[in-house]
Structure 1
Amino acid sequence: MKTTATDGYLDAARDCILDLGWRRTTLTEVARRAGVSRMTIYRSWSDMSTLLGDLMTREWAGVVTAIDPESSITDQIVDSVRSLRGNELFQRIVELDPELLLPYLLNRRGRSRDLILELIEGAIREGQSVGTIRAGNPVVMARSLVLAAHGFVLSGHTMVDDDVSEEDLADEARLLITKVLAP
């Protein structure tokens, strides 16, 4: 994969957020860590919110597209949930700045979620064409699966205790997805 200057700037922003959290990260600090002038960063991003949007899009899209495309749609979704929950940037945002996720949960989808929906819709259409997935509107089905996955990504850890393990929840997610898609 070809690395661009923008990737270097986003890498610097990621490092800052991991070290300092989003609230304490500034475009000036990102520029310093990237080894460029503030104006270089300001030419691409007018504020930290815009930069964070690009960083989260790159990060979440990278997590999801790294999943084995040859695995079943069920495994792809469960593996994506696991990968997102284990992602250090995601963990740091949830730990220090969870309010950053609220716009994407309450007001808009965002680019990475659109990519995820596109991938799931495509897999559903493909499964429908060969009869392994039930008939239905693939757009509605994909959106419903993403909404269900949100709970596993964002709140799954609150359901783990001495009685229920993460693997138990992953198994239940597999069952849920399988039954939703069964022909």
Structure 2
Amino acid sequence: MTSLRHNPEPGAGPRDGYLDAARACILDVGWRRTTLTEVARRAGVSRMTIYRTWSDMPQLLGDLMTREWTAVVHAAVAAEDPEQPAVDRLVAGVVGTVRALRENELFVRIVELDPELILPYLLSRRGRSQDLILDITTEAVRAAQAAGEVRAGNPVALARGVLLAAHGFVLSAHTMVDDRVSEAELDAELTTLITRALRP
């Protein structure tokens, strides 16, 4: 499994260290057994230091997931080939993000042990990282439309359609993998699906 463990940048503040400690706790024992007290212990600070930053674990988890998924998205975008046509770059970024999320150790751990943490972002509301993905995708759609590579239409609606399609390939692809269909084949189908949905 590919590890996308967060490595703080030089000069990163103490908050990143606290999030690193929370990440390590969740990887070790899962969300339900992780407490702010344990995060403080692992971070080598007092409980009050953590409580001054986050009043409860859901707030901390929200910030941790936003940081984690944002890093995944930015890495996928950075891996795009600037020589490719705009629509191909867009599709490659989406599929790369889907693949990276499925392999991300924190995401896998949450889905394995505490899948209910993901449900609000699928059934009730969007999260900050989803809005980030939508903003990036919307701008990519607009650029590809300007280049004549993506069909006319509301770029926000097109971006949201792409995200909805991608959700299934992130969360449910494993249920469709067996001795007849590989994960790589499913990713190829996602590539075809998004490309054909966007091209004029």
TM-score above 0.5: yes
Q: Distance in 2 between matches of 1:106 and 1:147?
A: 12
Matches within 5 A, 1:107-126: 107-126=124-143
Distance in structure 1 (CA, Å) of the matches to 2:75 and 2:188: 21
- Residue 4 (str. 1) matches residue 13 (str. 2): yes
1:70-105 Cα deviation digits (max 9, x unpaired): 441111001100000000000000000000001111
Following TM superposition, where does structure 1 have runs of at least 4 consecutive aligned residues deviating by more than 3 angstroms? 68-71
The corresponding residue for 2:105 is: 88
Which amino acid is 1:9 matched to? Y
The equivalent of 1:50 in structure 2 is: 59
In structure 1, the partner of 2:161 is 144
In structure 2, the residue matched to 1:100 is: 117
* Letter paired with 1:17: I
CA RMSD of aligned residues (A): 0.8
Shift of 1:67: 1.2
Encode CA deviations 1:115-139: one digit per residue, 9 max, x unaligned: 0000000000000011111111000
What are the ranges of 5 or more consecutive residues in structure 1 without an aligned counterpart?
none
In the alignment, the residues of structure 1 paired with residue 54 and residue 18 of structure 2 have an alpha-carbon distance, to the nearest angstrom, of: 10
Of 60-69 and 146-155, more deviation after overlay is shown by 60-69
SS of 1:133's equivalent in the other structure is coil
Which of 132, 135, 152 is equivalent to 1:135?
Answer: 152
Q: Distance in 2 between matches of 1:68 and 1:46?
A: 33
Name the aligned partner's letter for residue 38 of structure 2. Answer: E
Q: Give the secondary structure class of the aligned counterpart of 2:143.
A: helix
Q: Deviations over 1:145-167 (max 9, x none)?
A: 00000000000000000010001
Following superposition, the deviation at residue 3 of structure 1 comes to 1.3
Report the AA paired with residue 118 of structure 2: L
- Structure 2 match to 1:33: 42
**Shift of the alpha carbon at 1:68?**
3.7
Number of matched pairs? 183
Distance 1:106 1:18 in 2: 25
